[in-house]
A and B are shown apart, each in its own frame.
Chain A
Amino acid sequence: MNGSSDKTRPLLRFEGVVKRFGDVPAVDRVSLDIHEGEFFALLGPSGCGKTTLLRMLAGFEQLTEGHILLDGQDIGDVPPHRRPVNMMFQSYALFPHLTVAGNVAFGLKQEALPKSEIESRVSAMLALVRLEGYGGRKPQQLSGGQRQRVALARALVKRPRVLLLDEPLSALDRKLREETRFELVELQQRLGLTFIIVTHDQHEAMIMADRIGVMNRGQLVQVGPPSEVYEQPNSRWVAGFIGDINLIEGRVAATGPQGTEIKSETAGRLHAAQPADVSLGTSVWLAVRPEKVSIAAHAPEGSQTNVFAGKVADIGYLGNSSLYKVKLDNGLVMTAVVANRTRLLERPIGRYDRVWLSFPSDAGVVLTR
C-alpha cells in the first residue's frame, strides 16, 4: 500500500469532469471518489458516457472541463503510456503477432526490467489466470475465455494502481460469463487492487461491485452499494433501469416519523414506512419491486392500505419464480413475482382469476422524480 496516502484521501477523484464531442456532452459534470481496494462499477445503458469516462481515466480522451486526480495528483496532462492505470479492452486488443507470453510481457518490457524478472512475473501471472503451458501459443489459437484471461493477465502484470475493465465479460457466453464474475471478484480481493468496471449489465454490476455508479445521458445519477441502489433508488429512471419496478402516482397527504401517506386518484390510499422530505400535496411516485408484492385469491383481512383488487392478465413462468401481470380495477397494471418454493404443476392462481395484491409499508420507496 502507498504509505504516503492517508486514509481519508480517495485513491481516485473525479472533479466536475465534462467531455463534449462537438456540442454534445458525452460526460456531464461527473464528480466521484473511488477508494483504494474498491471494486467499482460504472453502470448504464449504451451511450450513457460510462466508457468515455473510463477512457478519460486511461488517457485516451482529453477532458473538456474538470480534473481527474490519482493519489492527489492531477493526471489530466499525463499521456496514457505514463499513467499507472491499465485497461482491459472490450475487444481484448491482444497483439496477434505476439505469443501469449509476449503479450503479457509487452508492458513489462516497456519498463526496461531485467529479463529474468520479466520472465518470472509473466509465468507467475499466467499461473494466476490458469494459463500455464499456453505461453507459446498465439492469441488466435485460444478460446474466447482464454483470450479474456490473457487480456486480464496483460493488464494485471503491470501492477496498476487502478485496473480498468471495459465490458470485460460481454464477449463470453452466458455460462462462462457467470463463472468469470466470481473469479474476477475473488482475484480482486486476493490482490487487493482497485478495479473499475464498465458494464451495461445490472446483474454483473450488482454481483461484482462494492459500489455502483449509475450513469444516464452523461450524468452520474446515483452512487451507492448494490443493495442501496436497488432498494433505495433515487429516481424513477434508476428504479426502472436496475430491475423491474411498479410505479404508482399520487400526492403526499401526510408525512412524518410514522411514514408517508399518499393519496392516489387511481389506487386509493397508500402508505410508505419512510418519511418523505417534501411538502404536502407534492406529486410523488411510490415504487415497489415486484417480488415484494404478494398475490392472493382472497381479499386480505384487516387493514386495506396498500391493497388492490384486480384480474390476472398474464402469467410468466420462469421456473424458479412466476410473474403475474395483474390489471387492477383502477386500470393500472402491476407486476408481482412469486418464488416457486413448492413443486406445483398447476398454479392455484390462473389467468383471468380475480386476485388481490398487497405489499407491506416498508416495501415501497417514495420517489419525487
Chain B
Amino acid sequence: MSGTNRPRRGWGARLVILIPALWLAVFFAVPFLIVLKISLSQSAIAQPPYTPVLDLAAGWQGLKDWAAGLSLESYALLASDSLYVSSYLRSLQIAALSTAILLLIGYPIAYGIARAPRRMQAVLVMAIVLPFLTAFLIRIYALVTILQREGLLNDALLALSLVREPLVWLSTDTAIVIGIVYSYLPFMVLPLYASLEKMDDTLLEAAADLGCPWWKAFWLVTVPLSAPGIVAGALLCFIPIVGEFVIPDLLGGSDALMIGQTLWTEFFSNKDWPAASALAVALLAILLVPIMIYQHIQMRALEHR
C-alpha cells in the first residue's frame, strides 16, 4: 500500500467515511466529553447534582467561571478508596477467567462447525445465534432458577449422586462466570468460526506429508492461522465483560461488586455523578490497552496480506 498513487477521493468516498464519523461524533465523542466534564465537577445537592454548571448564556465569563470550578477531586477519590481499585481488579479478574473459559469452550465448537459438511454449517451457526432470539433478561432469570438451591442443576447433581447436599451456586462468582460464559458464547464462536472456516485443508495435508501427526499439526498450523479469530473473539468478550452489570447484579453476591455495579451505585444510590463519571472515564482508559493491542495486531495482519 503506497500513499503516492492512491487516487484522489471523490465526494462519494468522502460521504461514505462521513457517515460513521458523524455517528461516532454524535453518539460517542459528545457523550464522552459530557461524562468527562461531569467527572471534573463536584457533587452537590442540586439539579443537576454537580457544580459548576456550564452557563453558555453568560458568554465568555460563564465559560471562565466554569473552568475555574473544575477539579480532579473525583479521580483522587478513586485512588484513595480501595473499594474502587478492588472493584476494577475484580472486574478484570472475572473478565479474564470468563474469556479463558469462553475460549476453551468456544474453540472446539467453532472448529466442529468449520469441519462440518457445508450445508450443516449454516444450520449450526444459526443454532449458536438462536438463543439471542429470547430476551436477555429472561435467559438470565432462567439461569437464576437453574442455579438456585432447589434448582435444576442441584436436582441433576443429586439425582446423579455426584453430591449429597445441594450446593450453593447463586450469589457466587461461579454463578457470575456461568452466566457470562453462557451469554457471551456466540461472540467467541462466531469470529473463531470465521477464521477457521477460511482455512485451507491442504495445509493440514502438507503438514502430515512433512511428518507431522494430526494433533501436532493442529498446534503448528490450525491454531496460529486462527490467531486473528482468537484475538477478535477474546477482545469482543473481554471488553464488555469488564463493564458487565446485569449478570453480576442478578447472579452474583452483594459483598464484592464488579465495576459496573459500583458505577451504578455511585450514580443512582449515592447520586454522586462526578465520582460515577470518573469511574467510567477510568474504565475506558483501562480498556483502551487491549483495544490498542488488537489494533496493532490487525494492522500487522493487513500488512502481511
Contact = CB atoms under 8 A, between A and B. Distances in A.
A50 interface: no
A96 B225 contact: yes
Contacts of A140: 304-305
Interface string A48-83: 000000000011100000000000000000011110
Given A138-B304, A140-B305, A59 B200 contact: no
Nearest to B221: A95
Given A138-B304, A140-B304, A140-B305, A80 B208 contact: yes
Contacts of B224: 97
Contacts of A158: 210-211
Chief secondary structure at chain B's binding surface: helix
Most buried by B among A59, A106, A111, A140: A106
A95 B305 CA distance: 13
A104 to B, nearest CB: 10
Contacts of A97: 221, 224-225, 227
Contacts of B202: 89, 91, 93
B286 interface: no
A81 B206 CA distance: 9
B206 A93 contact: yes
B117 to A, nearest CB: 15
B207 interface: yes
Contact of B203 (A80, A86, A93, A155): A93
A111 to B, nearest CB: 6
A106 B203 CA distance: 12
A159 to B, nearest CB: 12
A107 interface: yes
A211 interface: no
What size tier do the contact residues of chain A reach?
20 to 34
Contacts of A95: 203, 206-207, 221
B65 interface: no
A158 B224 CA distance: 23
Contact of A89 (B206, B213, B227): B206
A86 B211 CA distance: 9
A154 B205 CA distance: 14
A59 B203 contact: no
A303 to B, nearest CB: 59
B211 A110 contact: yes
A139 to B, nearest CB: 10
Contacts of A106: 207, 210, 212, 220
A155 B210 CA distance: 7
Interface string A1-32: 00000000000000000000000000000000
Nearest to B213: A81
A81 B216 CA distance: 11
B255 interface: no
B209 interface: yes
B210 A110 contact: yes
Contacts of A91: 200, 202
B225 A154 contact: no
Nearest to B305: A140
B225 A80 contact: no
Nearest to B227: A97
Interface string B179-219: 00000000000000000000010110111111111001000
19 contacts: A58-B209, A59-B209, A81-B212, A87-B205, A87-B206, A91-B200, A91-B202, A93-B200, A95-B206, A96-B225, A97-B221, A97-B227, A106-B210, A106-B212, A110-B210, A110-B212, A155-B209, A155-B210, A158-B211
Given A87-B205, A87-B209, A94-B206, 15 more contacts: A58-B209, A79-B208, A81-B210, A91-B200, A95-B203, A95-B221, A97-B225, A106-B207, A106-B210, A106-B220, A107-B212, A110-B210, A140-B304, A155-B210, A158-B211
The 4 closest A-B pairs by CB, nearest first: A107-B210, A110-B211, A93-B206, A93-B202
Interface of B: 200, 202-203, 205-213, 216, 220-221, 224-225, 227, 304-305
